Amino acid sequence: MNARDASAVGAALTRTDAAAKVAGEAKYSAEFRVEGLCHAVMARSTIPRGRIVRIDVEAVRRMPGVVLVLTHHNAQKLPQKGRAAVKPPAGREMSLLQDDAVRYNGEPIAVVVAETLEQATDAASHLRIEYAREAAALDFGKAKADAYAPKQAGPSGKPDKAWGDADGALKGAEVTVDHVYTTPMEHHNPMEPHGTIARWEGERLTLWDATQYVFGVKETVAKTLGMPEEDIRVLCPYTGGGFGCKGSTWSHVVLAAMASKACGRPVKLILERPQMFGPVGGRPQTEQHVVLGARRDGTLLAIRHHVISHTSQFEDFTEPSAQPTRELYACANADTMHRLAKLDVGTPTFQRAPGESSGTFALESAMDELAVALGMDPVELRLKNHADTVPSSGKPWSSKKLRECYADAARRFGWSRRNPTPRSMREGHWLVGWGMATATYPAHKMPAKASAKLMPDGIVVVRSGTQDLGTGTYTIMTQIAADALGMPVSKVRFELGDTTFPKAPVSGGSMTACSVGPAVLKACQDLRAKLDAGRGDNEGQGESPPGPGKEEEKTHGERSFGATFVEVRVDEDLGIVRVPRIVATYSVGRLLNEKTGLSQLQGGLVWGVGMALTEESILDTRDGRIVNGNLAEYHVPVNADIGSIEVGVVDEDDTEFNPLGARGIGEIGITGVTAAIANAVCHATGKRIRDLPITLDKLLRV
């Protein structure tokens, strides 16, 4: 028997925190009871650009229960006018009531604090504000005329990357596809909105914050307020979903601390659902021009992928949508580029699989269009151009089993029964379409630390200052620790979400398991060695080192892959699209927990359905307001929208990447799904939709 066959790691262990969550005992950041707590509500601007001429607070201050009205007139003056001293993209330029400028509709411009939430909400609604409005840039179509090159784009830091001679190769191509694909502005909607409790004790500050990065909050708040980091403690035992929006420290966190300092009492500030649209980022809209050139046999000769995405007027954020194009297919000639267009809106941010999810929609749609032009099966085309090494450098992959993913998912889906002719498959008045696409996401890791201590009752407490976003971090770290210690999981307790614990990185970029897991492994191995040696000290320490910082320093390509197959049904008369079936197989290294791992991949696929068919933040180009900034009109998939989802992983152990053999899985599930759905819709109807989301009006007018 293989030693790993009997291990806790990989088993379908039920979440260790499941009982606490079901019983309501798991406390989220805004649920802690703090003595003397009062409630804050953030007031936001109603114009896209201008200045505050007058803000009348006197009547509001006299309202029942009001403790404080914080505006730019009485707010604490901060170093650097409140701009975070942490470099982007993690650092944010926040809105901290330092002047009278208004930079977008929905920007925080005041905070009202009262004894109860109801009193604070009512008081904030009575604030009377006069503005001097200025002309605003709100039309992406016009703004892109002045698009410019950013300083960086994604983890590689390179907005542009090219190799070979794309122009020359395209001239010699026998078959070419040349199209523009667009994705809309989107916003996160985790079940738990952002929320912070701030409490001062003298010069020491404690923050209970809904975050993906407790140490990032600690560092950013300290530098923004101009105080020592050691005087701040950040706590976050549970996060009710993040998906990128909680990876940065936003204005409301510091505003809660400022309000608490000003009124001398603990303050709770929770964002209302409409306040999730603007002040805490979202996915920027993209326009992606993709050109593919190939021989008649399907061999790719050249790829061009040029991207324009929007950002705010005051800070750059780049959606690196051309990143997957740089590593997905073997091609000797490529040209990728990112440009930014400034709008008077809030700064965008990371949203599940930033760049990869929007970029695979364009690239994988174009690959399908190329397959049609060649009269070639879409899977066959992708296998023909499978990248056995990293396309731009020739470096080997740490591990890659994409070929096996295609074969397994195609077999389980029944792809061989597909009639390639559009509109050839139907069931009653429903047109049936089958489509597929490649999924991919880079493998990331960062330095992390952990500790392990044997307690008098025989329990080993393992700690790391990481976060659990509902992904199962508590559980997989318990499994890793149990195996390293040679103990049952019932004898291990993993603790996280506290900046007094060993330092860990942001829970983003699908890197938590790959970064914190090896540190937990080493800490427990260290403890076990000490116990076996009979040493008196019963605490182990572990640290996982960083990988090479620069792409050119890496010896291997590190990336996960997958194959996604979908069936759609389109009402022939009404254009309604349904997705009754998805089958997907992934190459993600070793799966640390079969139950939570497959759940993560399924969740990504569900979001991909929403991205393909429903999700779009609609910006009113007259006043800069998101007109559907609520869950009644910003449509995310519900149970009735989702059919059968069958997810699998290939047997893989990527020990070249890390000692656990695992790569991250939090984001790859959403990649490729949108293109697979678009490809299936085209197969069903004969109509190619290149602008997300694919709504019935677009199908009816094509």
pLDDT of 701 strictly over 80: yes
Model confidence over 612-670: pLDDT tens digits?
999 999 999 999 999 999 999 999 999 999 999 999 999 999 999 999 999 999 999 99
- Side-chain half-sphere CA neighbours of 598 within 13 A: 16
Which position has the token pair 């738990």?
192
- Contact between 589 and 657 under an 8 Å Cβ cutoff? The reply is yes
Top pLDDT among 608 and 79 is at 608
Distance separating alpha carbons of residues 677 and 612, to the nearest angstrom: 7
- Contact between 689 and 702 under an 8 Å Cβ cutoff? The reply is yes
DSSP at 502 = P
| Mean pLDDT, residues 216-224 | 94
Q: Which structure tokens are listed for 96?
A: 């901290």
Provide the terminal-to-terminal Cα distance of the chain, rounded to the nearest Å.
59
pLDDT of 4 strictly over 60: no
Distance separating alpha carbons of residues 354 and 671, to the nearest angstrom: 10
Model confidence over 115-152: pLDDT tens digits?
999 999 999 999 999 999 999 999 999 999 999 999 88
Strand order in the sheet with 101-102: 101-102, 50-56, 128-133
- Contact between 137 and 344 under an 8 Å Cβ cutoff? The reply is yes
User: For a pLDDT cut of 70, what percent of the chain falls above it?
Assistant: 97
pLDDT bin (cut points 50, 70, 90) of residue 269 is: very high
The reported pLDDT for the residue numbered 539 is: 95
- Contact between 589 and 597 under an 8 Å Cβ cutoff? The reply is no
The reported pLDDT for the residue numbered 90 is: 55
Model confidence over 443-486: pLDDT tens digits?
999 999 999 999 999 999 999 999 999 999 999 999 999 999 99
The reported pLDDT for the residue numbered 85 is: 57
Model confidence over 563-586: pLDDT tens digits?
999 999 999 999 999 999 999 999
Q: Which structure tokens are listed for 98?
A: 């330092």
Burial class of 427 by CB neighbour count within 10 A (0 to 12, 13 to 18, 19+): exposed
User: Which sequence positions are flagged as catalytic?
Assistant: 667
Three-class DSSP category at 180: strand
Contacts of 441 (CB under 8 A, 6+ apart): 353, 356, 510, 559, 560, 664, 667, 668, 671
Which domains occur in the chain, in start order?
Answer: 3-27+446-546 (3.30.365.10), 32-134+191-241+246-276 (3.30.365.10), 161-186+282-443+554-701 (3.30.365.10)
pLDDT of 91 strictly over 50: yes
Q: Report the DSSP beta bridge partners of residue 52.
A: 131
CA angle in degrees (0–180, nearest 5) for 563-176-340: 75
Burial class of 43 by CB neighbour count within 10 A (0 to 12, 13 to 18, 19+): buried
The reported pLDDT for the residue numbered 536 is: 79
| Mean pLDDT, residues 66-89 | 83
Give, for 39, the enclosing helix (H) or strand (E): strand 38-44
Average confidence score pLDDT of the chain: 96
